[in-house]
Structure 1
Amino acid sequence: MSAEPHPTLPPVRLPSDAELARDALGAPLFARAVRLARWAGPHARVHAGGELAAEQLPEAAAALGLDPADEEGPALASQAWRVAVDTGLVDVTEPDEGGDADGEEEESGTAAPGEDLALVTGGAPGEVLDLWLAALETVLADAAVPDLDDLVDALDAGGEIDFDRLDWNPGREADFLDGVLANLYLLTVSGHGASEGPIPLPVLAASMVIPEGMGEPTDAVLEQVSDAMMRLDDQFRQLEPIGLVEFRPVDEALMAEADDEEFAAAGSASGPGADGVDDEDVSRYGLVRLTPLGLYGIRARMLEAGVTAPAVGELSDKGADALLDAVSGYPEGAAQAEIEQWLAGREPRGAVAELLAAARGADEGGPLRRLRCQQALAPAGPEAEQAVRAVLDDPELGGLARVWLSEHGVADVPAPDEAMVFWLTVDTIAAQLAADGETAELPLLMRSLTEHHTGFFDQVWRVDHPATAYVLEAMGRTHPDKKAAKEARKAAFKARSRQG
């Protein structure tokens, strides 16, 4: 899978392997492949490539509980058979090439249940998931192939596919689908898919077509968005039976009514309800969501491609230094979930001491590590008090320790000296800038931290913190009080000169 690496790809929260394996076994297409593997035997005749003989497809459909007289039944049986063969659930012996020299009917190959079929009921969850991943690869390959009618129209006089006429490049199509799934994965793990509902299909199509920063899309771009939507509608219909996505297709009546501009207008919305677009109107353009099994599958393919795609819980056996470094780049909710899992298997007092030790450091990542450490310590009970008290005199952790002790109602907390107050102020703002950038809430934090200190800017530039000048420059840009902002800029200049 080819996907653009994301510098801070958020971690995904996945169910246990056992739960995912149950989901895999319940995916309609995979379940049909398993049933056909059990049906395979001496009666099954296969052609070159392992395809089930056409005359046997109705029988295979009946074995799946489908109507063999219905056109869809044999088609579903053929797809399930291909998955069964590709995953090793069925072993096939193909017929000899060339057929019978006397013109008699070509002999058929044979099929039998494969050794891997036993893993369905007797294998570990991870082995079941490996089978499902193999099935997913087959389905993804099929989804990147044009509609059969288009293939027939593109046959040349010799019966070969004219790719120029078809305007289809297999590698390009596979890359497009990979990119779509990578975008869908990122939207989901960032909180825009799992927590806020499915993604409108026009939004996903637009993310693949409209260049970043483009203003009003041109007519040509609008047409590309419309074409991409139709491709995705067909592809997600194929991907839903393997359990990768939950999908609401484009309303067929809408296809006949809407033009390219209307499709792209829906794509310009950031989600249902955006810009006055009614939820029901958006849903008619198609909605898609990765299932937990789908998140597992796309993440597995990303990892294989070398993309860093963390999962919550992976740091449980790592040290506190690795934990704080990693969660510093996570969204707050994901960071909290990872921290909770890390703490769950450790003796509280020792874990707190290890976290505090890992939070030290004058490097650029230090402030955010201390913020995540404070987040980790927030739910700790009385068992943490001794370890927290031990760092009261630490110049980097003393302020953090006093905040925790005060918030937990501990008596006899020594008041910080002025140098510690200023240092903690700089460290806190630097951490917020590192975590979220210059948000709308940051000026309010700045006002709160500076209003209670007379002559704050006359003193803060002297603070021996590596982020002092950086923080003061940010305050000069964003402080809600114009006079304070001007004082911050002057103090930033002094801090730079002092550091220089």
Structure 2
Amino acid sequence: MAGRSRFTPDQQPSEAAGLLPADYDLADLYGAQSGEEDPDDTAVVVPPIALPSDRELADAALAVPLISQVIALARWIAPHRAVDEHGDLVEEDRVRAARVLGVEDPDEDDVVEALRAWALACDLDLVETGTTDEGAHVAIPGPDLEAVESGDPAAVLGLWFEAAELVRELAAEAESVDPEVVEGSDSDDSEGLAEVEDARDQAAEILDEALHVLYETAAFAEPGAETVPLGVLAALLVVPDGAEPDEEMLGEITDLMVVLDPMLGDLAELGLVEHTPIDPDLFEEAEGDGGDGGDGGAGGAGAADGDGPLSDEDAARFGTVRLTPLGQYAVREWLLADGYDAPLIGDLADSDGPTLLRTLAENGQLFAEAELKAWVAAREPLAAARELLAGGRGRDVQSPVRRYWCVVGLGELGAEAAPAVEEVVDDDELGGLAREWLRARGADVDAAERGVALWRMIDSMSAVLLISAGEGGRLQALVADLPVTDNPASYFGEVWRVPHPMTAEILEIVGELHLDRKVAKEARRAAVKARSLRARR
């Protein structure tokens, strides 16, 4: 159950550099990216995730072999079974326990595995041990066994999460133990024990950081693309944001991969992660090549000459990991316990339309589409459309963003939203978007009048400006596509009078971004007039 370190007493992590090809280019070896990510991808510290229902999570937990084993052992001992003074199975029952777990002819390793499952069952109180009035040591099923066996989601997830906490703690503890320190220590060797404790804390911190990264990776990844090469995970922990890894960092990445690998293997036993371990043959191959990794051929990593990019099959030899839905559930609980705000997609499903759009405009832009889908799925389309349109009203600074997400939500509803949209075609704030939306779907609706169309143009550009903070090419494209006539002074003479709260700001943006100097100059002049008009109002 605890982690098994790959390091031997004479091979500590600091000596592992070169056992894996740290001298490969990071992007070629792991497919990692640095400095090129979308800036929005770093905007949310703990992004919202979508979790299956408690019922589905509980079913996944019951399907974990280790969990099914502890349940089987707890049922097997009913109504009671003799144990020794330490609560361990007596000698004659150990082989029987292995048979209970499905091994017909158990060997020594099978018995050891059965004892590990027994220890976990006791740790989780699924098995309780005690002494009878006659002084005999016995074990009985714990009080939660029936609820767990019946599949009660709360009982199953409670049991599984307690097991996850134990496994996480023991994985870090096993990875940190230096046999030389432990075996060479006596009860008075406080310095050696302090070293072990510090190493355990450091391993636990590394594991927690890795799980946090996997959590965010799963949140941002497209479905089916959540698997992370172990080298990428290590690089994300080692390389500062926006930096390119240097030689020293590549060595640290290799060391960290070797440290993480067995800990992730332990978590995989409980279904927190899906983990492909580092191919142990890499170590032998590296030693066969001299083990210095200095010429790009360390470990025969799959590139024939060590210079080209690796195939998917060869790259997988360096290990991969994916946080499962159960793992996401556990990591979220740990983040919440540490004081993080770790929202779930669908948290706004019970909100009304105005509250939904206001929340998305303020802090939910990155995952707004997923939140909108969850929200509309829980409502009757026509009523949902009316709520969204009500939330889109207003002339405050955030109102353009609310209208932007209103249109996205209407798109999720489709044609069934049309009657509600038709009701607002003459609305001062919603009429422009309503006519656009209906005409785009083939409805026989007149185009917006000139003043309404200009207001809608300012509103649309304002939404993009606020959502993107002016970054990216989308705003530039909108500026370039403005229907400016051969007489820009006349065009902007109309625009600066538009009574929109962001008219001046949009004109300033046009003055900064438009490639035609004459157009840009007239836009800047119009911006000054718009500010003056707003001040008078």
What TM-score bracket applies, with the shorter chain setting the length?
0.7 to 0.9
Residue 45 in structure 1 maps to residue 83 in structure 2: yes
Instruction: Find 2:165's aligned residue among 137, 155, 162.
Output: 137
Deviation at 1:294, TM superposition (A): 1.7
Task: Judge conservation of contact 2:176–2:200 (CA < 8 Å) in 1.
Answer: no
- Map of 1:100 onto structure 2: none
CA shift in 2, pair 1:467/1:168, >3 Å? same
Instruction: Find 2:254's aligned residue among 212, 218, 226.
Output: 226
Residue 116 in structure 1 maps to residue 153 in structure 2: no
- Map of 1:311 onto structure 2: 344
- Map of 1:15 onto structure 2: 52
Instruction: Find 2:97's aligned residue among 48, 60, 70.
Output: 60
Tell me how far apart the structure 1 counterparts of residues 436 and 104 of structure 2 sit (CA, whole Å): 69
- Map of 1:173 onto structure 2: 203
Tell me how far apart the structure 1 counterparts of residues 464 and 256 of structure 2 sit (CA, whole Å): 39
> Matched residue of 1:464: which SS?
coil
Which aligned pairs between 1:16-165 and structure 2 lie closer than 5 A? Answer: 16-40=53-77, 42-45=80-83, 48=86, 57-66=94-103, 70=107, 72-93=109-130, 109-147=137-175, 150-151=178-179, 153-159=181-187, 162-165=192-195
> Matched residue of 2:173: which SS?
coil
Deviation at 1:260, TM superposition (A): 7.1
Q: For 1:220-259, what per-residue CA distance to the aligned partner results, in whole angstroms no more than 9, with x for missing partners?
A: x333222211111011110111111111111212234276
CA shift in 2, pair 1:149/1:353, >3 Å? closer
Tell me how far apart the structure 2 counterparts of residues 280 and 485 of structure 1 sit (CA, whole Å): 54
Which aligned pairs between 1:42-441 and structure 2 lie closer than 5 A? Answer: 42-45=80-83, 48=86, 57-66=94-103, 70=107, 72-93=109-130, 109-147=137-175, 150-151=178-179, 153-159=181-187, 162-166=192-196, 168-191=198-221, 194-219=223-248, 221-256=249-284, 257=286, 276-328=309-361, 329-330=363-364, 334-380=367-413, 383-411=416-444, 413-437=445-469, 438-441=471-474
Task: Judge conservation of contact 1:84–1:90 (CA < 8 Å) in 2.
Answer: yes
CA shift in 2, pair 1:375/1:65, >3 Å? same
| TM-score (structure 2 length as normaliser) | 0.77
Instruction: Find 1:460's aligned residue among 481, 488, 495.
Output: 495
Tell me how far apart the structure 2 counterparts of residues 434 and 479 of structure 1 sit (CA, whole Å): 18
Gaps of 5+ in 1: 96-106, 266-274
Task: Judge conservation of contact 1:154–1:165 (CA < 8 Å) in 2.
Answer: no
Task: Judge conservation of contact 2:278–2:318 (CA < 8 Å) in 1.
Answer: yes
Deviation at 1:374, TM superposition (A): 0.4
> Matched residue of 2:321: which SS?
strand
CA shift in 2, pair 1:261/1:73, >3 Å? farther
Q: Which deviates more, 243-252 or 74-83?
A: 74-83
Deviation at 1:210, TM superposition (A): 1.8
Task: Judge conservation of contact 2:400–2:459 (CA < 8 Å) in 1.
Answer: yes
The residue type paired with residue 262 of structure 2 is D
Deviation at 1:156, TM superposition (A): 4.2
- Map of 1:270 onto structure 2: none
Deviation at 1:196, TM superposition (A): 2.5
Tell me how far apart the structure 2 counterparts of residues 487 and 46 of structure 1 sit (CA, whole Å): 91
Q: For 1:324-377, what per-residue CA distance to the aligned partner results, in whole angstroms no more than 9, with x for missing partners?
A: 234445567x53343233223433332211111112233343222211110111
Which structure has more RCO (C-alpha within 8 Å, separation ≥ 6)? 2
CA shift in 2, pair 1:397/1:117, >3 Å? same
Deviation at 1:13, TM superposition (A): 2.3
Percent of aligned pairs with the same amino acid? 38
| TM-score (structure 1 length as normaliser) | 0.82
Task: Judge conservation of contact 1:8–1:330 (CA < 8 Å) in 2.
Answer: no
> Matched residue of 2:115: which SS?
helix
Which aligned pairs between 1:472-483 and structure 2 lie closer than 5 A? Answer: 472-479=507-514, 481=516
Tell me how far apart the structure 2 counterparts of residues 246 and 440 of structure 1 sit (CA, whole Å): 38
The residue type paired with residue 342 of structure 2 is A
Task: Judge conservation of contact 2:58–2:151 (CA < 8 Å) in 1.
Answer: no
